[in-house]
Chains A and B, each alone.
Chain A
């Protein structure tokens, strides 16, 4: 007769949960998840990523049609924030916790436990030695205790008078293992916190003693904030860059960037005192809990415009490098004619100077190129436009370009195209003079804020130490059994057996050394 087992729904749910939990926390699942994690991380190295390079990502999507669209919709261009990547590492974290919790309990128990009793058949152990010696069991036991100092030992006497010592060492292996995994858990948590509470922003600052303050998002050209950062209450500090110097090898390779700067933070903001700092690529300024990095540099052409009524305007606008090795730059300098009150009238008189800037000019026929990145012989090749720049339209526009749609519908008219060397000027149709007066360096800086990165580093160091312990320490056991020899023989029978509890190879050599000493009756190492 069979009785059918009918579990209640509650029990069924419980069984399902329990089995899911067991499945999720098994080593096999952890392995599969590790593979999935490795696999899922790969597209991030192979495909352009939006957080690293927006332009390249858009280009890639445009070039690959529906395939690019599909990849975009399935979050392949922001892999590390994608649903599927997050799902894998969350599962892995749960699996990790599920594995660590029982292991920690077991570990706590094991730390108090005594080594297991000596097995009956020592000869079944992977390492085994036995010999008949002419020392008494007492001296052998004493020698064993002396030799196995530092091992956790327990002595036992059987009913038939045989005595044995069970010894174990290498508990640090499991300690290291747990420390490593807890360190990793901490690292992941702090990493996530850093993403929530951190921010980074980039801004171009002229290296002519201009002041820049970390006062809000609007001060930045680009700003990436964590979810918990709204852009107010940024850490207050101000900087000003006094100069910038770059040096190059003969082949044009950069080998030195340096900007003498000053900064103020904390008390200095009230007193107005400035502290000096030498900003370089590998040495960011660390102040007020933020870091200031030197990212890149470029040139701003200096144009002096003399309007027909005699007013003079000087403008220094950053142009961006179009070719990094030679710093051939492109950009647009936009100038409002002063002294015109009527906004409509003003919108017909705005000037734009746009084109190329070569720090060391070299003419291919009439085409301007740059032969070196230093500002040895600066020159510009520019188009000059007049009309409505669209600056009042309320629409954001690039500081490096003019709005081409305004040129297309005739609101912005090209007046002339000119190559200007240092100090040369061109006269426009209405008598306005535009003179090229040289270049000024600008520096692109990045401000980064991550309140918990020190904790991440701490966790990483803990992980590394744990890892070393868990891989280099061997968990191993030694048993020694001493019994009087059989009646027809003299002396004592000593049996030594050993077992490495992990798959750590190389215990054989240590065991041979220990057993040889025990058999020969040496103490100490």
Chain B
């Protein structure tokens, strides 16, 4: 079937517009984080919340904490209002982002993740959606900027240096496994961005907790360390089985396409490395002396391996997955 140039064009417009709106949302979120009382309030609130959840062991007469009574700040300042606008823009941009993916798929009549550009587009979308879910569960709206920073960088690099015109894919990619294997990889990698960012913030917060003079302004506006830790853990335990499933499907597909289910192709190797690092993260949380900072560092290493796998392996080394670079 021929490529629908018009739809492909609209997909590109959507992508560019989404990126631009992410940049605006990023700035709005940074304003809220930088100038808002919300950041501090949210931090305090999250400490309160974590006490309720983890429980500091109050006296027996403490009334049950059904829905923590959060002090609603009546006076919503300008930075908070800007923060809310930022969140609305984030949703709008995510919708445009989704439109870009869907239009791409309609234009080429196949799953819209057949090359690195499309892969990057879908992965960043998953990261943003994960963040929207996290924002509903944790008071972390003011941190949106720190998530959007890597997202915007990835989308910019992706849209400029890795842009690929809409085209059909080569025979090796014409398989239903492309839908299963690649989408699992996309969801895994996209969700992994969130614990990566949360773990970086965790390190700042933990350093600030150890010595309040460190990152005095920045650290105090971050949520409590164990909230960040919990965000990282919850998202990781979601992404890890999905990623494992993706690798498993990749092996099944490789058996049909390349003659062996595992052959230490560079992509396979780095996926293995990332998998082992995330496995280490999960083990570290059950090991005395490795919780907290060390676990956070391991999570960041895992995310670095994921990014490395996405770009370096496709663009620099030549392996069987190299078509994705093209």
Contact = CB atoms under 8 A, between A and B. Distances in A.
Contact of B171 (A191, A282, A284): A282
Contact of A253 (B170, B264, B269): B170
A450 B62 CA distance: 64
A34 B283 contact: yes
Contacts of B253: 282
Interface in B151-210: 167-172, 174-175, 177
A291 B261 CA distance: 12
Contacts of A191: 262
B65 interface: yes
A453 interface: yes
Interface in B245-261: 245, 248, 251-253, 255-261
Given A31-B283, A45-B269, A38 B317 contact: no
Contacts of A257: 171
A71 interface: no
Interface stretch (A5-13, A107-115, A417-425, A502-510): A502-510
Given A28-B287, A123-B57, A505-B53, A45 B241 contact: no
A421 B216 CA distance: 79
B290 interface: yes
B160 to A, nearest CB: 21
A467 B241 contact: yes
A471 B248 contact: no
Interface in A447-466: 448, 450, 453, 456-457, 460-461, 463-464
A126 B57 contact: yes
A17 to B, nearest CB: 24
A369 interface: no
A151 interface: no
Interface string A291-310: 10101000000000000000
A392 to B, nearest CB: 36
A271 B81 CA distance: 82
A446 B256 CA distance: 12
B237 interface: yes
B317 A46 contact: yes
A7 to B, nearest CB: 29
A183 to B, nearest CB: 11
A235 B242 CA distance: 37
B264 A44 contact: yes
A35 B175 CA distance: 35
Nearest to A460: B248
A478 to B, nearest CB: 14
Contact of B285 (A130, A281, A448, A503): A503
A45 B270 contact: yes
Contacts of B317: 45-46
A255 B273 contact: no
B73 interface: no
B265 A52 contact: yes
Contacts of A472: 237
A41, A131, A446, A463 — most chain B CB neighbours (10 Å) = A41
Interface string A244-281: 00000101011111000000000000000000000011
Contacts of A41: 269, 272-273, 276
B178 to A, nearest CB: 9
Given A249-B167, A280-B171, A282-B256, A37 B57 contact: no
A350 B291 CA distance: 75
A30 B171 contact: no
B264 A457 contact: no
B135 interface: no
B269 A42 contact: yes
B175 A282 contact: yes
B76 interface: no
Contacts of B252: 457
B317 to A, nearest CB: 6
Interface stretch (A206-214, A354-362, A376-384, A511-519): A511-519
Q: Size range of the interface on B?
A: 35 or more
A80 B52 contact: no
Contacts of A460: 248, 251
B260 A450 contact: yes
A500 B257 CA distance: 45
Given A45-B269, A253-B170, A467-B241, A503 B286 contact: yes
B72 interface: no
A519 B317 CA distance: 63
A57 to B, nearest CB: 13
Contacts of B287: 27-28, 31
A125 interface: yes
Given A284-B256, A446-B259, A508-B53, A38 B273 contact: yes
B283 A52 contact: no
Contacts of A519: 64
A79, A126, A191 — most chain B CB neighbours (10 Å) = A126
Contacts of B233: 503, 505
B263 interface: yes
Contacts of B277: 34-35, 38
A52 to B, nearest CB: 7
Contact of B259 (A30, A124, A127, A200): A200
Nearest to A79: B264
A131, A282, A453, A457 — most chain B CB neighbours (10 Å) = A282
Interface in A114-143: 122-131
Contacts of B169: 255
Interface in B51-109: 52-55, 57-62, 64-66
Contacts of A505: 53, 230, 233-234
Contact of B280 (A34, A49, A51, A446): A34
B273 A284 contact: no
Interface string A39-55: 00110111001011000
Given A34-B276, A123-B60, A282-B257, 19 more contacts: A28-B287, A34-B280, A38-B305, A45-B273, A46-B266, A46-B317, A52-B263, A52-B265, A123-B58, A130-B60, A200-B259, A281-B174, A283-B256, A448-B260, A464-B245, A467-B240, A472-B237, A503-B233, A505-B233
10 contacts: A31-B287, A38-B277, A41-B273, A44-B264, A45-B313, A52-B265, A255-B168, A280-B171, A281-B172, A472-B237
Interface of A: 27-28, 30-31, 34-35, 37-38, 41-42, 44-46, 49, 51-52, 79-80, 122-131, 191, 200, 249, 251, 253-257, 280-284, 291, 293, 295, 446, 448, 450, 453, 456-457, 460-461, 463-464, 467-468, 471-472, 495, 502-503, 505-506, 508, 512, 515-516, 519
